[in-house]
Structure 1
Amino acid sequence: MKKPVFKTVFRLTLAAGLFSGILFAVASPTAGNRTRVVALTENKVGARMALFSQLKLDSLGLSKEAFAFALAGMEKLAKEGKLSNPDLLTIADFSLPSSKKRLFVIDLAKGEVLFNTLVSHGRNSGTELATNFSNAPESFKSSLGFYVTGATYKGEHGYSLRLEGEEKGINDNAMSRGIVMHSAAYVNEQIAKLQGYIGRSLGCPAIPEKIHRQIIEAIKNGTCLFLYSPDKAYMANSKMLATPEIDTTIA
């Protein structure tokens, strides 16, 4: 058996803008001796990583890993022709508690954060922090991963947005489960201040009533939505996050 040459994990490594094949690596928490590597072949994608610092996304709470993974997955969806607007990226960072403004709508072309607000997770995914996820019907849990936004409609929760899950076995039951983006009275800062967390949904990423229409109008019809968590099962099974995995070592 061939022994691994190295045995260390890099949290996040970037080499952006130095050459046409941009390379960055993000640690996979599924194994202590493996690093997940993403090769980005277009300069514009590498350049977009610089927006993390330019827009001070770290000060807003967004994790660098979430942003890096989101860019890589969005690029795959764009290459597959699934996005009508590959410059608009929405991230729900479930590594943050629900009391934090963990939904980020970013215009990558203009270099602007259009919205930064609260977003719910499923009631069975956790209380303050989402830690359990499922693709199963009636689980009342959030499903992680990449989605393409669809059409709007008026339903039980008013003006809502359909979401198409793009990851087989992870979130591809979103349509049949009725996982959509909608508004909810329980998604507001007052509730968060009173009890330390906002209300939870049946699995939908629900957003505040005051701005739900503006957000849905901005991201509808073919943009990328990424629900992120450093969840071990998701990291191990998602094909949208980067491949291949390589062993690295320290002598």
Structure 2
Amino acid sequence: MTVRFGLLSLCLVVSAAVLFSAASGSAAAVSTLSASDGAVSTTAHTADPDVVYDDAGLSGIIAREVFEAAYESVAAHGLELTHGTLAIADMSQPSTAQRLVLVDLKSRELLLRTWVAHGSGSGGLMAERFSNRNGSHATSLGLYRVGSQIVSPKHGAALLLHGLDKGLNDLARPREVIIHGADYVSKKFIARTGRLGRSWGCPAVPRAQMTRVIAALEGDGLLYVYGT
């Protein structure tokens, strides 16, 4: 469902969270927090992080420890991914790298690998500083539940993000941090400047990829932003 959202010129980031509890060779029941009413439900999952990492072919794309950190964060929050999509933005890589991956945890497939921008307050080529503070224009680390699709007056189709880590990213909504498309997230921009452009804290992606990102994450996906 698409809703109109009166944003200022700031970006909005919304994050989503997935719970994966796994025991080798057996299904694990996972509790989840409903995005609408806080109701709890359970779903059985069978694969552990190493199995998903290997089957999705993530070696050489993101480090195993980054994927494991995302998995552990999801489990620590006790949240379930309804349709099984986890996005990981590895901000320890330079912005010229395709450091955003979308993984289907049920089929253990890599759905998408693409570029993602960090905030101007975090650095240039590398994201070196992170903040939850309003006005910092920096990227916030941690786990997000991805919310509804909105229409931003500045960016068009976008996804709300709900920060789940208190003191780390829980001001995502007041900061108007969202997943949105941007022209400065492109191979052409990298060729011209030596790096991606930067947002005001939003995990901006290539405009051409927004349809796929929305389809994979809207409403119940999770985003984990990693940094060092």
TM interval, shorter chain, is: 0.7 to 0.9
Measure the CA separation in 2 of the matches of 1:207 and 1:17. Answer: 35
What's the counterpart of residue 68 of structure 1?
A: 68
Measure the CA separation in 2 of the matches of 1:171 and 1:177. Answer: 10
1:150 deviation in Å? 0.5
Instruction: Name the SS for the 1:115 alignment partner.
Output: strand
Aligned identity (percent) is 33
1:94 deviation in Å? 0.5
- Alpha carbons of structure 1 residues 187 and 224: separation in structure 2 relative to 1, 3 Å: same
1:124 deviation in Å? 1.2
Structure 2 gaps, min length 5? 1-22, 29-43
Give yes or no for the alignment of 1:17 onto 2:19: no
What's the counterpart of residue 197 of structure 2?
A: 199
- Contact kept, 8 Å, 1:103 with 1:118, in 2: the verdict is yes
1:18 deviation in Å? 8.5
What's the counterpart of residue 96 of structure 1?
A: 93
- Contact kept, 8 Å, 1:107 with 1:113, in 2: the verdict is yes
What's the counterpart of residue 108 of structure 2?
A: 111
1:93 deviation in Å? 0.5
**Count of paired positions:** 190
Letter of the 2:46 partner, please give it. Answer: K
Instruction: Name the SS for the 2:122 alignment partner.
Output: coil
- Contact kept, 8 Å, 2:96 with 2:125, in 1: the verdict is yes
- Contact kept, 8 Å, 2:88 with 2:226, in 1: the verdict is yes
TM-score by structure 1 length?
0.71
- Contact kept, 8 Å, 2:24 with 2:47, in 1: the verdict is no
- Contact kept, 8 Å, 1:147 with 1:165, in 2: the verdict is yes
Measure the CA separation in 2 of the matches of 1:55 and 1:18. Answer: 18
What's the counterpart of residue 44 of structure 1?
A: 46
Instruction: Name the SS for the 2:173 alignment partner.
Output: helix
What's the counterpart of residue 221 of structure 1?
A: 219
Measure the CA separation in 1 of the matches of 2:131 and 2:89. Answer: 16
Over the aligned positions, Cα root-mean-square deviation in angstroms equals: 2.1
Letter of the 1:17 partner, please give it. Answer: S
- Contact kept, 8 Å, 1:45 with 1:71, in 2: the verdict is no
Superposed CA offset, 1:181-202 (max 9, x none): 0000000011112322110000
1:218 deviation in Å? 1.3
Instruction: Name the SS for the 2:169 alignment partner.
Output: coil
- Contact kept, 8 Å, 1:102 with 1:119, in 2: the verdict is yes
Letter of the 2:118 partner, please give it. Answer: H
Letter of the 2:187 partner, please give it. Answer: E
* Structure number with bigger Rg: 1
TM-score by structure 2 length?
0.77
Give yes or no for the alignment of 1:57 onto 2:58: yes
Higher relative contact order (CA 8 A, sep 6+): 2
Superposed CA offset, 1:88-126 (max 9, x none): 110000111000101100001112111100000000101
Measure the CA separation in 1 of the matches of 2:220 and 2:209. Answer: 20
- Alpha carbons of structure 1 residues 176 and 114: separation in structure 2 relative to 1, 3 Å: same
What's the counterpart of residue 136 of structure 2?
A: 139
Measure the CA separation in 2 of the matches of 1:213 and 1:86. Answer: 17
- Contact kept, 8 Å, 2:144 with 2:223, in 1: the verdict is yes
1:76 deviation in Å? 3.2
1:86 deviation in Å? 5.9
Structure 1 gaps, min length 5? 1-15, 22-41, 232-251
What's the counterpart of residue 124 of structure 2?
A: 127
- Contact kept, 8 Å, 2:87 with 2:100, in 1: the verdict is yes
